[in-house]
Structure 1
């Protein structure tokens, strides 16, 4: 449902660490000056690039991410505890999380101020590692071997053993994240709106270990034996400095809020445009043949 418009008095900014941003940043600064809004930069761990005065995400009306999907993910994590919407602006090609391109920064902000946008609620997977307070993954959690040796992974669903395997690791993904590392590891893509997570072994050494789709109301436990080299864990691509042994998941509905416009590209269409999903060569060859035959007939 479209939300009513209102003034945007303070914008929090999250930027890509090194991608060219001058055009998008200039447009953003021009819009804030014209509308009397304040522009601050939301601190992100490991981010040294400074383009605006620092500001707390809790105090802004909107968080704007300049970069790509990775930058937008960082912005979503910063904004989520304060229920702030995130506008992803692609400084490059449009991705799964960016709502508009760097060429239309001012137009996108005008639409938001007018209420011409929608909230896209993104779920997350809460992951408790060795009994600690859960981390939240919007895309995926990855357990991967740290050294040259394999890790041994045990997957349990609602207390029942699914499989134990030796390999490079395992990916636990949300529907949003299923088209990233999960798909690359041979797992399925979950359509938008699917209430499930997918568990995908990475380079399993023998056995029968197909990816497993699990409903969000089920509990998943991952047992990790790191071997001599140990294992590491990543949340949405960010490496955490601890070694996991026991992992338990929980579903976090409506964890973060992404800005979406009515004319936004749908998820599957975006995957096709970026050629993450492509038709089979036989089908494409048939299309080329029929197009060539049609051109001959029209002459």
Structure 2
């Protein structure tokens, strides 16, 4: 189906002229239009504003962060999001600005795949829920440590003092979770990973939790307090109790046949790398023939 109205969510600073011109020209030749969807914290204006509910497709112009914002804007209306890389290709972008016209043609011809993305739904002290596609982070606000308690299905897992905790989806497991020493979850794993951040002593390994489990987190912020970040966005809460649940099929990402997998993308961007010893062995074996000539 050819989209008659395309909503755009844009990066605050990157150059977007090529992608914007392609979108406008492609829509105009099909009697369509491009409108901008307003998102929190974004003041850059590139098109007349419109409502996401009135669009057929949401296009995210920028990178993975922009695509996350677009997914949240589109999710309540069940709209697919096309991530357009205006820079390097990321984990969520399906096409580059250079190949955008072809990508739009394929979308209009229904030559695309739906990538359903789960989220974690977070209730904060009885308020919410709020959804995170990547991760929920509880982090100290001051120089003090915070005390975090984690329960799974009503059973205590661990209590610790440290900088905070990261609770991530499979998508988010390769971001803050990985940086904090947690595991990377396979893209289709129906699981949540809970990773303590800089815990002070004790035994506090990261924990992988099944999607059907209920996660309860208690926070003692101390004199400095604690804050919450959902997909990197700071929220004005002083949290004491979090209830976290799996939300399947929260958002829809446009994907084309032959797109690289999550792990392939991580290796391409060198977020995952083979150990130096293995690389040296491969180089040595590759050059062995020349050494014996």
Task: Please say if 1:204 is aligned against 2:185.
Answer: no
Task: Please say if 1:44 is aligned against 2:39.
Answer: yes
Task: Please say if 1:97 is aligned against 2:97.
Answer: no
Q: Which residue of 2 aligns with 1:195?
A: 190
Question: In the aligned structure 1, how far is the partner of 2:37 from the partner of 2:195?
Answer: 34
Alpha carbons 2:2, 2:107 under 8 Å: kept: no
What do residues 220-258 of structure 1 show as CA deviations (whole Å, max 9, x unaligned)? 100000000000000000000111110001111100000
Alpha carbons 2:165, 2:197 under 8 Å: kept: yes
Q: Which residue of 2 aligns with 1:35?
A: 30
Task: Please say if 1:113 is aligned against 2:108.
Answer: yes
Task: Please say if 1:231 is aligned against 2:233.
Answer: no
Q: Which residue of 2 aligns with 1:84?
A: 79
Q: 1:184 aligns with which of 158, 175, 179?
A: 179
TM-score when normalising by structure 2: 0.98
SS in 1 for 2:159: strand
Q: Which residue of 2 aligns with 1:3?
A: none
What do residues 168-211 of structure 1 show as CA deviations (whole Å, max 9, x unaligned)? 00000000100000000000000011111000000001110000
Paired residues for 1:133-282 under 5 Å: 133-282=128-277
TM-score when normalising by structure 1: 0.97
Question: In the aligned structure 2, how far is the partner of 1:205 from the partner of 1:67?
Answer: 38
Runs of 4+ in 1 over 4 A off after TM superposition: none
Structure 2 stretches lacking a partner, 5+ long: none
Task: Please say if 1:132 is aligned against 2:127.
Answer: yes
Alignment root-mean-square deviation, CA: 0.9
Alpha carbons 2:118, 2:247 under 8 Å: kept: yes
Structure 1 stretches lacking a partner, 5+ long: 1-5
Task: Please say if 1:62 is aligned against 2:60.
Answer: no
Relative distance call for 1:79 and 1:188 in structure 2 (3 A) is: same
What do residues 102-159 of structure 1 show as CA deviations (whole Å, max 9, x unaligned)? 1111110000001100110001100000011200000000000000100000000111
